[in-house]
Structure 1
Amino acid sequence: MNLSEVFLKKINQLIGKQFFKPLLAVSGGADSMSLSHLCYSHGISFGIAHCNFSLRGEESDADEQLIKTWADEREISFFNVRFDTKKIAEEWSKGIQETARELRYAWLETIRANHHFSHILTAHHANDNVETLLMNLFKGTGMSGLHGIPERNNYIIRPILFAAKSDIELYVTLENIPYREDASNASDKYLRNAIRHHVIPSAASFFPHLVRQVSESIERFKQAEILYRIEMNRRMKKLCEQRGNELFVHAQKWHDSEVAAALCFEIFSPFNFSPDQMPQLLSLALKQSGKYVESKTHRVVKDRKFLIVSPLKTSDAGFVLIQEETDQIEIEGASIQFSFSLKPTDISTDQNIALIDKSKISFPLILRHWRQGDYFYPLGMGMKKKKLKRFFIDQKIPLHNKENVWVVESEKRIVWVVGYRLDERFKLRDTTSESLKIELRMK
């Protein structure tokens, strides 16, 4: 494979005639340094951004210095930030890897927006994609877990996802590209590393072209998912009815379906039911009224002809799924209305109206009560992360109001604190072509 030629074709395919001045996320490893070299060799104007997560002491500092030197020698804009990742992970009660990922993408978006870069480029490659697919399969997944890492997600582009790790290693050698090895990649502490070091090499001994073959399968899965979603949505509309914050599922019709197991996963997994609980839910359809199965936030109760999904009374997890065709939802004391349009010319300052870039969200959305530990990036604060509890204090929101605050969520990211503030990540931009308007109307 001529990595350079295929890369240029991929960029042209993904970008077309759009303005293209990307910000590259560069760690200092072979993958991201190769991506930097590819962009530079093709005369692309770009910037480099590096996160120092302070996890490896002098090694982390050496990574940063290598990248800065490489960028300075070529007069490429260089941006860097240092995080005390361990401390932040403890504050957020999250794992190191998840915390680092959230910090990284939030900071990259801040740099991209503030310095007028068109896209963010990351150096994920085909081996990363295979690892992701296997991780999803081992944990238990639905159709959405089979498509691996998306090649493009709004403004985030992964232009060397087509390339195997071996292609990148060859390119590094031929072009004499400097890079640094991350010693933590050799550890089997993390599941991804264990799959990389043991599972894939073992399988590749039987299937030498494993990465290419699995990558081709992923592409087929992506196309199959389009058809799958159309049919699933059609069937779910016939089986499910939203009544307030409860979902009614026609038990017998669902259970008798030839695709009952797939429907089970699609209907109940958004309510935090695990793959291990799916057999219990399937059998619940045939049990007597009053029997139930619980997740950490919801209970599914058999009631005559229906399975009723409702939030646990002991939690603050009021929960409503918002499909793309939803136009109105009733909540206590108010209604919430939804409508789509082209990008509006006049931006409302009414706190009861949220104008959202449709390309930044994925359906179904979730409407729920806020919970302890929730956080978002308040509009107008420059991608500064803030816990909702602190936001309420800063806004001097009374206790009796705070207890009834709802949030709109997309893929576990808060889009709007209803009636108070939009999240910076979902605001309208110059590139917005279609908007979603959500309006809170008090009764």
Structure 2
Amino acid sequence: MSKQFIYHFRDALQLQCRITEKSRIMVALSGGADSVALLHLLKNAGHTCIAAHCNFNLRDAESNEDEAFVTALCQQLNIKLHTISFQTREVAQQRKISIEMAARDLRYQWFEELSNQLNIQYIATGHHGDDAIETFFLNLTRGTGLKGLTGIAWRKGKLIRPLLYASAEEIKQYCRANNLNYRTDSTNSDTTILRNKIRHQIMPLFKEMNPSFFVTMQKNISYLEEACELMTIESKKFQNESIAKEEDTVIIPIQLLKQHPQKQTIAFDILKDYGFSGAQISPIIKSMETIPGKQFLSASHRLVVDRYNLIITPIRPKDETHYVINSDDQTISNPIHLSLTKFQKTNEFKFSKRPDVVHLDADLIDFPLYLRHAESGDRFIPLGMKNFKKLSDFFVDEKCSLIEKENCWLLINGEDIVWVVGRRIDNRYKITPKTKTIIEIKIKTEL
């Protein structure tokens, strides 16, 4: 078994991980059978190995015993060892994430920093085929989409996982055949942890039904990887041809998405990057057939179903500040860029018809002016009208999206809305034959 196992390892290293030359490789060494076997295999294959061990301080004395074990092992194999200690529980509480997620983040962040510091080409972890199958079932229960069902990647950047061809039992057999001692994590038997429940309760049932379950699942994952590649190509094509991005706003045309035969899959592939879950996709798709205005939230973004588009923007606290414009201000840059010019009206004067330039009767203006966002109950008399109109109704008439309404600034004189910036001035402040002095306000696109 040992020779065949080694042949498979070297094939995986070259064909799957694309390591074709002898390299400097840092091994994530936990002390378990998989990482011990990995270190032994890489060293015997002629690679220059460095080991990195994380003490997460999660298992009291066991954690320190693991560190002592890997220290002795590296001394025996004449391999340089780097260690670090983390207060993982405290980090998890501070970041408000699970202990498992905190440990993962801490581990990979340190691996990246250490590999850059030591000029290491590759970081190797001992993930094996059973880990990939467990990840398949984990993601299946979570609804992570097709990508999540592809298990664990052989290579991602400088991170490589050459043992994905092997089962956990095959790795232990290799260790026994080569007299390699290893540590066993006592928490691996805790079935309150979902991964352990899958490992000890779910997978044995499948193996009972199909003795070749491991091989079958490796083939299934391989097929899913190819299907995922096809989906990714189609999704990128849709995004390149159909989606618009304006600064931090993403605009997805509803009609084009509705017409796509794989709209659910395409939508999930796009929206997952903005924190939306698989469970939100069907409601979002259904909402495209209903009255506009429906909102969906992820931890970081908001999606608004507008008349013609899905609009995705980052979630930000509402800006309730009133920004002051004084009489001697000629330009302002916060919250928007405006220029202000005051001049005497002449017979040749023609008032602006452009939405980004307005002319106001200066004698009706009482500085300071203010800029603020819309508030409930706002109303004004739009240019050309005689009666007040609710600002909310004006926005409806203008076919403004929810995002546009929330981002719109109002120029305020006393209690009056003088200008719905970029859209309409109040009729009371227009230029008339009686106007003597004019204030021109212009939206500046550049500083």
TM-score, scaled relative to structure 1:
0.67
Q: Distance in 2 between matches of 1:179 and 1:6?
A: 22
- C-alpha distance after superposition, 1:290-339 (max 9, x if no partner): 333343444433333333333445469xxxxxxxxxxxxxxx989xxxxx
Give the AA of the match of 2:70: I
> Which SS does the other structure have where 2:209 is aligned?
coil
Give the AA of the match of 2:120: F
Alignment of 1:209-220 (within 5 A): 209-220=212-223
Matching residue within 150, 175, 180 for 1:177: 180
Residue 51 of structure 2 is matched in structure 1 by: 48
Asked if residue 149 in structure 1 is aligned to residue 173 in structure 2, the reply is no
Alignment of 1:100-111 (within 5 A): 100-111=103-114
Q: Which runs of 5+ in 1 are unaligned?
A: 317-331, 335-441
User: Structure 1 pair 120/271, CA: closer, same or farther in 2 (3 Å)?
Assistant: closer
Q: Distance in 1 between matches of 2:314 and 2:110?
A: 34
Asked if residue 119 in structure 1 is aligned to residue 128 in structure 2, the reply is no
> Which SS does the other structure have where 2:48 is aligned?
coil
Residue 61 of structure 1 is matched in structure 2 by: 64
8 A contact 1:147–1:221 mirrored in 2: yes
Give the AA of the match of 2:310: L
Matching residue within 198, 219, 231 for 2:234: 231
Give the AA of the match of 2:104: R
> Which SS does the other structure have where 2:132 is aligned?
helix
User: Structure 1 pair 305/40, CA: closer, same or farther in 2 (3 Å)?
Assistant: closer
Q: Distance in 1 between matches of 2:42 and 2:297?
A: 51
User: Structure 1 pair 288/189, CA: closer, same or farther in 2 (3 Å)?
Assistant: same
Residue 137 of structure 1 is matched in structure 2 by: 140
1:11 to partner: Cα distance: 2.6
Residue 193 of structure 1 is matched in structure 2 by: 196
1:154 to partner: Cα distance: 1.3
- C-alpha distance after superposition, 1:167-190 (max 9, x if no partner): 112112222210111101110232
Q: Distance in 2 between matches of 1:33 and 1:257?
A: 49
Asked if residue 6 in structure 1 is aligned to residue 18 in structure 2, the reply is no
Residue 320 of structure 1 is matched in structure 2 by: none
1:233 to partner: Cα distance: 1.9
Q: Distance in 2 between matches of 1:136 and 1:63?
A: 30
Deviates more, 1:186-195 or 1:307-316: 307-316
1:89 to partner: Cα distance: 2.1
Matching residue within 165, 172, 175 for 1:162: 165
Q: Distance in 2 between matches of 1:182 and 1:154?
A: 28
Residue 437 of structure 1 is matched in structure 2 by: none
> Which SS does the other structure have where 2:24 is aligned?
coil
8 A contact 2:23–2:121 mirrored in 1: yes
Matching residue within 9, 13, 36 for 2:39: 36
Alignment of 1:34-433 (within 5 A): 34-312=37-315, 314=317
Q: Distance in 1 between matches of 2:227 and 2:25?
A: 31
Q: Distance in 1 between matches of 2:184 and 2:256?
A: 55
Give the AA of the match of 1:8: R
8 A contact 1:51–1:82 mirrored in 2: yes
Q: Distance in 2 between matches of 1:85 and 1:50?
A: 14
* RMSD, aligned α-carbons: 2.5
Deviates more, 1:240-249 or 1:183-192: 240-249
1:196 to partner: Cα distance: 0.8
1:153 to partner: Cα distance: 1.2
Deviates more, 1:153-162 or 1:122-131: 153-162
TM-score, scaled relative to structure 2:
0.66
1:192 to partner: Cα distance: 1.1
8 A contact 1:292–1:301 mirrored in 2: yes
8 A contact 2:144–2:277 mirrored in 1: no
- C-alpha distance after superposition, 1:236-282 (max 9, x if no partner): 34443234433332223322332121122123333332222222111
Q: Which runs of 5+ in 2 are unaligned?
A: 320-334, 338-445
User: Structure 1 pair 199/21, CA: closer, same or farther in 2 (3 Å)?
Assistant: same
Number of residues of Structure 1 aligned to a counterpart in Structure 2: 322
User: Structure 1 pair 333/148, CA: closer, same or farther in 2 (3 Å)?
Assistant: farther
> Which SS does the other structure have where 1:179 is aligned?
coil
User: Structure 1 pair 282/123, CA: closer, same or farther in 2 (3 Å)?
Assistant: same
8 A contact 1:287–1:302 mirrored in 2: no
Q: Distance in 1 between matches of 2:147 and 2:40?
A: 33
> Which SS does the other structure have where 1:162 is aligned?
coil
Q: Distance in 1 between matches of 2:105 and 2:305?
A: 39
Residue 421 of structure 1 is matched in structure 2 by: none
> Which SS does the other structure have where 1:47 is aligned?
strand
Give the AA of the match of 2:7: E
Q: Distance in 2 between matches of 1:305 and 1:42?
A: 59
8 A contact 1:52–1:64 mirrored in 2: yes
User: Structure 1 pair 333/199, CA: closer, same or farther in 2 (3 Å)?
Assistant: farther
Q: Distance in 1 between matches of 2:195 and 2:318?
A: 33
Q: Distance in 2 between matches of 1:333 and 1:154?
A: 41
> Which SS does the other structure have where 1:46 is aligned?
strand
8 A contact 1:24–1:46 mirrored in 2: yes
Deviates more, 1:113-122 or 1:202-211: 113-122
Give the AA of the match of 1:245: D
User: Structure 1 pair 166/237, CA: closer, same or farther in 2 (3 Å)?
Assistant: same
User: Structure 1 pair 56/303, CA: closer, same or farther in 2 (3 Å)?
Assistant: closer
8 A contact 1:53–1:84 mirrored in 2: yes
1:15 to partner: Cα distance: 4.5
Residue 350 of structure 1 is matched in structure 2 by: none
**Structure number, greater radius of gyration:** 2
8 A contact 2:302–2:314 mirrored in 1: yes
